[in-house]
Structure 1
Amino acid sequence: MPIRSLKPLTPSIGLTLALLLCLAFTLPAPVQAGDAKGYVAPPDGTTGILIYGRHRTGNERYKEGKRDSQDANYNLNLQILRPVYYKEIKGIMTTVQALIPFGSVSVSGPAYGNTTLSTSGLMDPTVLFGIWPINDPDNKFWVAFSQWFQAPFGDYDAYRPLNLGKNRWAFKTEASLTKGFGNFYLDLVPSIEFYTDNDNYGAASATEKMDPLFRLETHFSYDFTPTFMLSLGHYYEKGGETEVAGVKQKNEKDNHALQLTLGFRPAPKQQLLVQYWRDVDIESGFLTHQYGLRYFFIF
């Protein structure tokens, strides 16, 4: 339904829609980034849980490669619970996992009418299934494929200018190649994600569409000891332009980021990752940096 057919808009609806369009996909996606050796398959029958904690912040906002605000304030606090299970079926390693994210996000500054917009609660949860056609730990070589299903169960209210849920389904297909050379490991992880429409976008109940988003992760890691490793990851994403009520938002992503990770094994069935993320080139969205922790416990 075209926006121009919704006249007259009340001031509150008009303001809400304007803020929604301003925010449309300027917020970073907080759950997508993977980790070095994330597709190194553990032993058959491994059951565990990963717990993530992340704090992301930024002040500069970009659109079409140009900075349109340098005094906005973006803050995200994110926690994720991720139960995992690995099972070998007829010689093929498989996994089923779930990601349950929740947290809070806020934006403020002149770009948002000198007000603070904030919300907290559940984000859209994800279930994924993965297989390893090649699982060769003796030669340190792994090839894996996974399918991710993100459900629109997160907190969403069309009348709120800021939401943690997206009110649409997302489907991501991901592949991974991991090769070890002594204590050095290389990961290449391409993926493509597709989205259904959000038919209840904003107070005007407009239709929001999103183009597919391509991502490529590259990780270089080194095991200094059996209990300590260091990795550097590069993250690239391209696409994902949105359309609201038939109007292109000119917010296609063409973004690059780096992440430094220190990995520790405090006990045989535990792993702790300490991470720092930094956006280095942003076409659309906030230029951010992030501090993160990831704890993995095997039952």
Structure 2
Amino acid sequence: MRSSTLRLLALLAGFVAGSPACAQDIEPRAYSNAPVGVNFLIAGYAYTVGAVPFDSSLPIRNAAMRTSNAVLAYARVLDLAGMSAKFDAILPYSWLSGHAELLGQPIERIVDGLADPRFRLSVNLHGAPALSLREFSEYQQDLIVGVSLQVSAPAGQYDPTRVVNLGSNRWSFKPEVGVSKVFGRWTLESQAAVTVFTDNRDFYGGNRRQQAPIYSLQGHAIYNFPAGIWASLDATYFTGGRTTLDGVEASDLQRNWRLGATLALPVDLHNSVKIYASRGVASRTGNDYDLIGIAWQYRWGGGL
């Protein structure tokens, strides 16, 4: 029973991402199993410095922006036709300040408010059946294959007279497929996704801004320590996202690499803490930023 409890702690710790960014997310353990009916409440804080993390394709250069981000999230594990699934919602509130160049001219921005909320449904198609807490005590992960769809809604702060905002004034949709495989104490994961965008019809003075899809790959090497602690080394690459403004295509095709690390520390069966950081290591358009964050997670229900 003790081993199953430790395994449950390891799987539940850091079950939901708390990052304020979107296109450049790095999220280990996005596809894992947990007992049906378990709820998660997450409160976190993330700090970024560099480019604007909410929209990596803004037409600005030499950005020196700083953001502080409070993140509140909720998730629930579901039984979807016998497969384990998860619904989560993330609501960020951000403070942004800094300067950049727009068409060679200096600009400054100080603003706070809601960033765009995100909603996601993920389903484990193979290797992670829907289980009760009692059934989960006998579960051993091998290979998990899952899919998800994340939707970002245009509900964040947006001023069409400014080029830098916390909200994007458009919808985005991110379908993804993920694979997770256990090798002893190690878990190797990979995710592939594409993010598509609707048009922003009121961009910076009434312009119509379109953006091509962004294609992304993630990889994670996770080591499971005793007592339910785990740590991961993370990497992501994304490309695409060329923008068009009133029919004129920009030279802003993205090819970016980010590296990161995550540490999850269970406190008890109901509480855990996750610390994470990532850094842009290469970009074609100079839109890198550094991020560090911490999240507290409380979980209940499902027999816990």
Q: CA deviation at 1:59?
A: 7.5
Q: CA deviation at 1:232?
A: 0.4
Q: CA deviation at 1:247?
A: 1.5
Moved more, 49-58 or 192-201: 49-58
Matched, 1:80 2:81: no
State the one-letter code of the partner of 1:85. Answer: R
Q: CA deviation at 1:114?
A: 4.7
Gaps of 5+ in 2: 1-18, 129-138
Moved more, 176-185 or 114-123: 114-123
Residue aligning to 1:199: 201
State the one-letter code of the partner of 1:232. Answer: L
Q: Kindly indicate whether the alpha-carbon contact (under 8 Å) linking 2:20 and 2:71 is maintained by their aligned counterparts in 1.
A: no
Residue aligning to 1:265: 266
Residue aligning to 2:189: 187
- Whole-Å separation in 1 of the counterparts to 2:258 and 2:226: 27
Moved more, 246-255 or 72-81: 72-81
* SS of alignment partner, residue 286 of structure 1: coil
Residue aligning to 2:179: 177
* SS of alignment partner, residue 140 of structure 2: helix
- Whole-Å separation in 2 of the counterparts to 1:110 and 1:173: 33
Residue aligning to 2:28: 36
Q: Kindly indicate whether the alpha-carbon contact (under 8 Å) linking 1:117 and 1:161 is maintained by their aligned counterparts in 2.
A: no
Residue aligning to 2:242: 241
Residue aligning to 1:126: 118
- Structure 2 matches for 1:1-299, cutoff 5 A? 30-32=21-23, 33-58=25-50, 69=62, 72-108=63-99, 113-136=105-128, 137-203=139-205, 205-299=206-300
Q: TM-score, normalised by structure 2?
A: 0.80
Q: Kindly indicate whether the alpha-carbon contact (under 8 Å) linking 1:119 and 1:162 is maintained by their aligned counterparts in 2.
A: no
Deviation string 1:175-225 (CA, Å, 9 cap, x unpaired) is 11111111100110111111111111111x110000001111100010121
- Whole-Å separation in 1 of the counterparts to 2:99 and 2:179: 41
Could you tell me the percent identity over the aligned residues? 22
Structure 2 CA distance for partners of 1:90 and 1:245, relative to 1, 3 Å: closer
- Whole-Å separation in 1 of the counterparts to 2:151 and 2:202: 20
Kindly tell me the number of residue pairs found equivalent between the two proteins. Answer: 265
- Whole-Å separation in 1 of the counterparts to 2:248 and 2:100: 26
Deviation string 1:37-59 (CA, Å, 9 cap, x unpaired) is 22112111111112231101128
- Whole-Å separation in 2 of the counterparts to 1:234 and 1:34: 7
Q: Kindly indicate whether the alpha-carbon contact (under 8 Å) linking 1:252 and 1:283 is maintained by their aligned counterparts in 2.
A: yes
Structure 2 CA distance for partners of 1:200 and 1:110, relative to 1, 3 Å: closer
Deviation string 1:235-267 (CA, Å, 9 cap, x unpaired) is 111101111111222111100010011221111
